[in-house]
Structure 1
Amino acid sequence: MMNAPPSGGMPRPNSQESLLLDYVHRLERHRADRRAVHVHLSGLQAQNRREHHTRIAGNTFEQLVKLMQAQVFTLANADLMVIYKAQAQDEVEAAVVKLRFLFSDDPLVIEEQRTRQALFCTWYSLDREYDMLLALAQKMVQEENAKRNAASERKAQEAKFQAQKPKGSPFTPELLARVESSLGQADLANLMRRQAVCAVVGKSPPTPVFHELFISIADLRQTLFPSVNVNSSPWLFQQLTETLDRRVLSMLNKHDDRTLEGDISINLNVSTILSPEFLVFDDNVKAGMRGTIVLELQKVDIFADLGGYLFARDFAHDRGYRICIDGLTYSQLPFVDRERLGADLIKLVWDPSLTEEKDKKTEALRRIGVTRIILCRCDNQAGIEYGHSVGITLFQGRHIESMVQGDPRKRGLRARPRG
């Protein structure tokens, strides 16, 4: 019988791709009178590959399946793979003609007719091309497994995010005023965190390139206002971060632990770079070390005042600092042109979905320049493996921190996990 199209939801051990691979393996000794046709329904326009289209296409071969002349596999991407006995060649060809007629208005079929290229379907004779079909089935299983794993990890991360999502009373202007007053008197040294941005090449241990310095918002909230959801008002939160910027710069100016001698990054607002506090900070930095200090800016802050950003960027570059745009997801990359914005680096947030449509995404990353990308929030080895596969060598995240802590050569480094 024809296998029913797989449904979404939980991972399915017996996916159509797995059943196809198993079937091809069983045909190894019976390949002489077997043939196959791969119908590329995935190449059709979206409106032509809805579920009912896939069902109609599969049913086209139903009579052959009932007569045990063919086996049909409806794949996750909507393609059909039909493996049949050579004696059913005419009937299979007639079914394919029917499918071409069904989708005759689709650009894929029109282009096939115009170019005379086999775009709609690919034919295989198993006595000569068995190994080719076997390799294709194996690739399909690998890709489907990768998609499932990515989807499972995405769901797990979403569940983790929802569980960690701050809860509490709204963040109000009155509360902000009280918090800012408290920040002026509080010792924030215990809330300062350092997290390494490392070069990871091949199987060598991570080598710290610089350390990001930041105030742990989670710890700050727990210390000063545990019952308040600071994310409930983005604009008040922005004001809070500007106050924190000034406190961080003040703390760095007072440090005597050689912090300002370079190899650090600090998160700042655009307005902070143009503030008197930053000028004092700049005066305390040795001129030769400014090139090793990275100023990290948020995309929202940049586009909220693009003119202000361009002025701050030119000032920072003139002084020798480097600019990094922080916290970008892949979907935001088309709207953030690194070169036109004059940024030296970007931080791309690791997400398992980056492994989907990998060729397309890899090309987009290479246009940006993989040597200019830091893959951040790498909480497991999968992020590093993906980064290496596309040429990225700079990484940041909890997993990187654990690798640094586990490397005997690096145990002397002061690196603490993000709060």
Structure 2
Amino acid sequence: MQCSANGLQQYEGPDSGLLLAQALQKRTANSGDKFAVYLRLSMLDAKNRQNYHVDTAKYAVTVLCAELDGELYVFDNSDMILLLPDAEAAAVEVMTKRLRDLFSGLITLLPGTILESLCRWYDLTIQGDQFEDVCRPLTNSRDAVNARAAPPPASIKNAEPINPELLSRLERGLATIDVSSFLRRQPICKILPGLGTHPKHLASEIYVRVNDLRDTILPGVDLLENRWLFRHLTAGLDQRVLAAILENIQANLRTPISLNMNIKSVMSPEFTQLVRLLSPSQREKITIEIHCVDLIADPGAFRFVHAYLSNIGFELALDGTDLYSFPEFARHDVGFNYVKVGWNEALENDLALSDLQLLDRAVSQLGADKVILCHCGTPEALQFGHRVGVQYFQGRHIDEILSPESRRTN
């Protein structure tokens, strides 16, 4: 599968080895890339090589390469190779360090491996042969070997990326559609252990349910499966959501709200307009959620946005952590009012007693009043949260507790 966004081409699936072999063949013909980055997720133990970790790594690469042209190859063993024709060595070195930092302390490597081996960069002008040797297990399939001796098949050579066309259709649709009709509210509530405990409302996250938008603009396309497309989409979508909120500020701020935004959106003219129209007391009713990958990908931009939002009265939430990564983010508390932890039944089943104890300590260390367990779709999520000291919850099960007869699904 080939897709692209912001100049970065992604190749994923059974043809990845063949396509990488072709790219390396171009390099030997003096028309290839200057630098390469090898992210060896196959070195992670199985617990830390879930789809979540692979998706997070791909998402981080798109953030880090937002201004770069390049090619990303994703393999069946979860390894990733990034070829960069025009980047500077210093930028590649910084990106490699940040990719390592993404997993540092959050993962367990296979025995006998070290963190530096997880992600390395190569200067292909002087390390090209070494890099080809490293890649040989990925390119040494029968198809990849044949690709070195034959021109690329017409179906590959003439293939047009799917995403630019979809992206164009999405952007045209977003420019004309009434986003306000797609806005949803999902409550975040304090629920203490014990029978008969009634949820106490903290805030409501205002968001667009992407599947509803997809069914209107691009039915049959899984937007969430493609992080490249989804990230580009959310930048424009954030601004449309802000515009919809601005149209009826008083109604939208009757109770506290939470908005999930990327750093670029926070610096947009629409957000500046929202700030100007809000009184200090109204700003205190809004929590801005920032994804943890945005924090890691550009710490400088994050620090600026953190200071800016805090100084003008907004509360901040860190979004995107999971049951494994949350303890590390809790240990390095960087000043969020809340941290959102995604509950996942499959991950919970893999947790050892030591993992549960680590979660319990992390909640206590950060403060139970600062942790929100989200994506709670079943009663088991609530029970799990109470086991590790969580008091705030969000998800479909909470919706059902508050409105058991509602047929609308968030």
* Alpha-carbon distance in structure 1 between the residues aligned to 2:392 and 2:309: 23
SS of the residue aligned with 1:198? strand
SS of the residue aligned with 1:208? strand
SS of the residue aligned with 2:302? helix
Question: Does residue 1:398 correspond to 2:391, yes or no?
Answer: no
Q: CA deviation at 1:258?
A: 1.8
Pairs within 5 Å for 1:4-403: 172-202=163-193, 203=195, 204-255=197-248, 258-337=251-330, 340-352=333-345, 353-354=347-348, 356-357=352-353, 358-403=356-401
Against the structure 1 CA distance between its residues 242 and 336, is the aligned structure 2 distance closer, same or farther, given a 3 Å change threshold? Answer: same
> Corresponding residue for 2:97?
none
CA contact (8 A) 2:191 2:391 kept: yes
Against the structure 1 CA distance between its residues 404 and 257, is the aligned structure 2 distance closer, same or farther, given a 3 Å change threshold? Answer: same
Q: CA deviation at 1:205?
A: 1.6
> Corresponding residue for 1:127?
none
Against the structure 1 CA distance between its residues 276 and 217, is the aligned structure 2 distance closer, same or farther, given a 3 Å change threshold? Answer: same
SS of the residue aligned with 1:336? helix
Against the structure 1 CA distance between its residues 253 and 171, is the aligned structure 2 distance closer, same or farther, given a 3 Å change threshold? Answer: farther
Against the structure 1 CA distance between its residues 416 and 212, is the aligned structure 2 distance closer, same or farther, given a 3 Å change threshold? Answer: farther
* Alpha-carbon distance in structure 1 between the residues aligned to 2:161 and 2:318: 29
- The structure that has the greater radius of gyration is 1
SS of the residue aligned with 2:325? helix
Against the structure 1 CA distance between its residues 269 and 360, is the aligned structure 2 distance closer, same or farther, given a 3 Å change threshold? Answer: closer
> Corresponding residue for 2:113?
none
Against the structure 1 CA distance between its residues 320 and 377, is the aligned structure 2 distance closer, same or farther, given a 3 Å change threshold? Answer: same
The amino acid that maps onto 1:391 is G
SS of the residue aligned with 2:214? helix
Q: CA deviation at 1:262?
A: 4.6
Deviates more, 1:231-240 or 1:279-288: 231-240
CA contact (8 A) 1:205 1:403 kept: no
* Alpha-carbon distance in structure 1 between the residues aligned to 2:161 and 2:192: 45
* Alpha-carbon distance in structure 2 between the residues aligned to 1:274 and 1:350: 30
Question: Does residue 1:417 correspond to 2:409, yes or no?
Answer: yes
Q: CA deviation at 1:361?
A: 2.8
Against the structure 1 CA distance between its residues 332 and 260, is the aligned structure 2 distance closer, same or farther, given a 3 Å change threshold? Answer: same
SS of the residue aligned with 1:367? helix
SS of the residue aligned with 2:403? helix
Listed one character per residue, the Cα deviations across residues 273-315 of structure 1 (whole Å, up to 9, x for unaligned) are 1111101111222211212211111122222222111101110
SS of the residue aligned with 1:312? helix
* Alpha-carbon distance in structure 1 between the residues aligned to 2:161 and 2:180: 27
What is the CA RMSD across the aligned residues, in angstroms?
A: 2.4
Q: CA deviation at 1:334?
A: 4.8
> Corresponding residue for 2:27?
none
CA contact (8 A) 1:260 1:284 kept: no
SS of the residue aligned with 2:290? strand
* Alpha-carbon distance in structure 1 between the residues aligned to 2:302 and 2:272: 16
CA contact (8 A) 1:291 1:320 kept: yes
SS of the residue aligned with 2:336? coil
What is the aligned residue count? 244
Against the structure 1 CA distance between its residues 231 and 400, is the aligned structure 2 distance closer, same or farther, given a 3 Å change threshold? Answer: closer
SS of the residue aligned with 1:228? coil
Listed one character per residue, the Cα deviations across residues 215-244 of structure 1 (whole Å, up to 9, x for unaligned) are 011111111011323245423321110000
* Alpha-carbon distance in structure 2 between the residues aligned to 1:171 and 1:287: 45
The amino acid that maps onto 1:310 is R
Give identity over the alignment, percent. Answer: 30
Q: CA deviation at 1:389?
A: 2.5
SS of the residue aligned with 1:331? coil
Q: CA deviation at 1:391?
A: 2.1
The amino acid that maps onto 1:197 is I
Against the structure 1 CA distance between its residues 397 and 318, is the aligned structure 2 distance closer, same or farther, given a 3 Å change threshold? Answer: same
User: Normalization by structure 2: what TM-score?
Assistant: 0.55
* Alpha-carbon distance in structure 2 between the residues aligned to 1:185 and 1:344: 36
* Alpha-carbon distance in structure 2 between the residues aligned to 1:294 and 1:257: 16
The amino acid that maps onto 1:173 is P
Against the structure 1 CA distance between its residues 332 and 171, is the aligned structure 2 distance closer, same or farther, given a 3 Å change threshold? Answer: farther
Against the structure 1 CA distance between its residues 198 and 338, is the aligned structure 2 distance closer, same or farther, given a 3 Å change threshold? Answer: farther
SS of the residue aligned with 1:341? coil
